Structure 1
Amino acid sequence: MCFDIDVNGILTVTARDQATGNANGIAISNVKRMLSQAEVSRMLEEAKKLKLEDEEHKKRFQAKNSLEDYVYNARAATRKLTSKLGTADAKKIESEIESAMEWLDDHKNAELYVIENKRKELEDIWEPILTKLL
């Protein structure tokens, strides 16, 4: 969020959603050159609310990126270790990775806890296998 007050007392508020890149702004001016205490309080409360929403979007975005990185790193490790896995196990893990990638595509707007649960689920499945191979 960006707040700017020019020399004429016009307040310009601009907000950008980091996850989607969407931006919106509003210019607030007062003919009397002053805002009432109620207006100032309302604006401050709205700014606090938007800040909290931005923080939640940021956490969700970071969790989603972390999950994507985990899936792609697991895929790379699996491909490198295919000879140690054997064909059946390699196909099974590759199938699970493809399923995880499809899940990511189908759940682009999933809530933070859903993304975190999916990561935990995949770690519980893959970590024992990958640890044995390394």
Structure 2
Amino acid sequence: MVADAEKYHAEDEKVAQRIQACNALESYAYNLRNTLQQDEKVAGRIDIDDKKKLENVIKEAITWFENNQEAETEEYEYKQKSIEETANPIMMKLFWSIEKVD
């Protein structure tokens, strides 16, 4: 009985990690999209080419997410890191431009 409990605990932990990675990717992609679309500080100051890059990466990520609801934890994490590789430098550049003005 204890062995079964340990087995199920490990399986539950794995499922919880997958759900957490799934939720993190979904939240990150949609929050980034909403920031680009609704935050006037961002919309008015972001470079057009950078905005297009971000919009393309976000659109691709959301499409991937919607088509891969049963992906593994590593796949969700990899997808989020790939978005971050594009988004982080752009958002940092934007952050510094906003800091200089404010």
TM-score by structure 2 length? 0.79
What is the RMSD computed on CA atoms of the aligned residues? 1.5
One-letter code aligned to 1:131: M
Q: Give the Cα separation in 1 of the matches to 2:82 and 2:56.
A: 15
For residue 89 of structure 1, report the CA deviation from its aligned partner.
3.3
Question: Which of the pair has the greater relative contact order for Cα pairs under 8 Å at 6+ separation?
Answer: 2
- Of 89, 93, 96, the residue aligned with 2:57 is 96
**2:84 is the alignment partner of 1:123:** yes
Q: How does 1:75-90 map to 2 (within 5 A)?
A: 75-79=33-37, 80=39, 81-90=42-51
Identify the structure with the greater strand proportion: 1
**2:11 is the alignment partner of 1:50:** no
Q: Give the Cα separation in 1 of the matches to 2:72 and 2:87.
A: 23
Question: Contact 2:50–2:90 at 8 Å: present in 1 too?
Answer: no
One-letter code aligned to 1:69: S
Q: Give the Cα separation in 1 of the matches to 2:80 and 2:50.
A: 21
TM-score by structure 1 length? 0.62
Call closer, same or farther: CA 1:97–1:86 in 2, change over 3 Å: same
Q: Which runs of 4+ in 1 moved over 3 A?
A: 86-89
Instruction: Please tell me whether Structure 1 or Structure 2 has the larger radius of gyration of its CA atoms.
Output: 1
**2:27 is the alignment partner of 1:69:** yes
Q: Give the Cα separation in 2 of the matches to 1:116 and 1:47.
A: 28
Question: Residues 44-73 of structure 1: CA distance to partner in whole angstroms, max 9, x if unpaired?
Answer: 222211111001000111111111111112
Question: How many correspondences in the alignment?
Answer: 92
One-letter code aligned to 1:49: K
**Percent of pairs identical after alignment?**
36
For residue 86 of structure 1, report the CA deviation from its aligned partner.
4.1
